[in-house]
Each structure stands twice: as structure tokens, then as C-alpha cells.
Amino acid sequence: MRLVLLGPPGAGKGTQAHRLADYYGLRLIATGDMFRTHVRGETPLGLKAKSYMEAGELVPDDVVIGMLLSELDKARNGWILDGFPRTIPQAQALEEALADRESPLQAALKFKIPDEITIARLAGRRTCMRCQRTYSVEIKPPKLEGICDACGGVLEQRADDQVETVRHRLDVYHRESEPLEKFYWDRGLLREVEAVGEVEEVTHRATEVLDDLLSTE
């Protein structure tokens, strides 16, 4: 399966992306995680991306498109993209690249959630600095405070999860990324999932939509 996830920051896309990738045996490509790894490693790409990320701005299209396309070629058995595309030019670049590879996108799955809920979620989110798993101080705390259940890494609040930066990220989302819904709707690829609720419940809704899609292909 070839799938992109859409929805505002804080909709739970990262968590659901991991779960769906496990469920369907797909490669997960999360551009935000890739950038954070580059920033930590102080690579040339990381140095380019850092100031944009910390300000809650998008990294320029040419930088992110180059990084994504080289990653796509490593994923032969299907993939899920989390955090890409975020602009129409990115979606067009993806569409062209997939046409060249004769492996078109099968769905754009949108996670629907009101802004107030995402603001509250992100303020309480803690991220593992090693494996990028996320936790919620109130709803999904780790077994041991400040430590990742999965890998034992240290949990921290991302700089861009501070409330003011979150509001800015949401503005950027509405301006730059929401038009993607029409882009994919026009191509008959848009599917929607209600993202408010328990993690398991949301995964269940997503797999129902995707199983349905697979059975009709």
C-alpha cells in the first residue's frame, strides 16, 4: 500500500503512522523525524532545517522534496508518509515521482480534529529523543516518568510543542497544507478518519477505511 497521512499537528498522525505501518507491514517515512535526526547529528541538512523547525515554519520545498525522494526508493513493499506532503508543490513533486516509478498513490488519509484539542494535546506531548515515540503526560504517560517504554531513551518536550509555536504551526497548516485536501479529493484519493478518541479506536477506524480500499482495488 502507498499512503499519505494528512491532518494538523497534534492529530495523532505520528502514533497512528507507527501502528498502521506495523499492521500492514509498510515502511514508515516521517519527514519531521528525519529532520530531527539530521538536526541532532548536525548534518548540513539538519543545519538548514533547524531554524525553520524551531520557529514552527515549513522547511523549504526543495530541501524536503530531495530528502523524501531519496528515501522513497528504499521502500519497495509499500509505504506510509507522515508529514509529507505539506504543500501543493510537494504533492505535485510526489505525484510526478510516483508516475515515473509507475506506482501511484492509493490514498490520502485525513485525520480530522478541532484545533483546541490539538493545542491541548501538543502542550502535553513528550517525545523520545532516541526513537521518536510520543507520549502524553495525561492520557498516555510512560511507565517510568521521563523514560521511553520502547527503548529507554529520554523523553522531552519538543521546542516546537510550546503553545505559541503550536498556534503558529496550526496557522501554517491551515494556510499551506489544508489545500491538499482538495488536491487529493479531485483525484478521488481523499479518505477521512475522525481523530478524536482512544488511540486503538482511531487505528480501528483507519484500518476499516484502508481494508475497504484494499478490498475494492
Active site residues: 13, 86, 125, 158, 169
From 188, 216, 214, select the one nearest 78 (Cα to Cα): 214
Candidates 53-61, 109-117, 178-186, 207-215; binding stretch for ligand AMP (CB under 6 A): 53-61
Q: Could you say whether residue 86 binds ligand AMP (CB under 6 A)?
A: yes
Judged by CB under 6 A, the number of residues near ligand AMP is 17
What phi and psi, each to the nearest 5 degrees, are found at residue 139? Answer: -85, -40
Closest distance of CB 57 from ligand AMP, Å: 6
Binding marks (x or -) toward ligand AMP, 137..176, rule CB under 6 A? -----------------------x--------x-------
Instruction: Select from 2, 9, 109, 183 the one that contacts ligand AMP (CB under 6 A).
Output: 9
Q: For residues 115-134, which are near ligand AMP according to CB under 6 A?
A: none
Query: Of 166 and 193, which CB lies nearer to ligand AMP in the complex structure?
Result: 166
Instruction: Kindly state the cell numbers that stand for 31.
Output: 519527514
What phi and psi, each to the nearest 5 degrees, are found at residue 97? Answer: -65, -40
Q: How many CA atoms lie within 13 A of 183 on its CB side?
A: 23
Q: Could you say whether residue 83 binds ligand AMP (CB under 6 A)?
A: yes
Which 3 state secondary structure label does DSSP give 80?
Answer: strand
Residues 14 and 134 sit within 8 Å (Cβ to Cβ): yes
Candidates 58-66, 99-107, 145-153, 200-208; binding stretch for ligand AMP (CB under 6 A): 58-66
Q: Which amino acid is at 107?
A: A
Q: Is 49 exposed, middle or buried (0-12, 13-18, 19+ CB in 10 A)?
A: buried
Q: Could you say whether residue 136 binds ligand AMP (CB under 6 A)?
A: no
Instruction: Select from 90, 134, 136, 203 the one that contacts ligand AMP (CB under 6 A).
Output: 90
Name every residue whose Cβ is closer than 8 Å to that of residue 97 and which is 6 or more positions away in sequence.
Answer: 69, 72
Instruction: Select from 7, 21, 26, 31 the one that contacts ligand AMP (CB under 6 A).
Output: 31
Q: What is the DSSP string of 150-188?
A: TT-PBEE--GGGSHHHHHHHHHHIIIIITHHHHHHHHTT
Candidates 51-59, 91-99, 178-186, 200-208; binding stretch for ligand AMP (CB under 6 A): 51-59
Q: Give the interface with ligand AMP as residue ranges (CB under 6 A).
A: 9, 31-32, 35, 52-53, 56-59, 64, 83-84, 86, 90, 160, 169
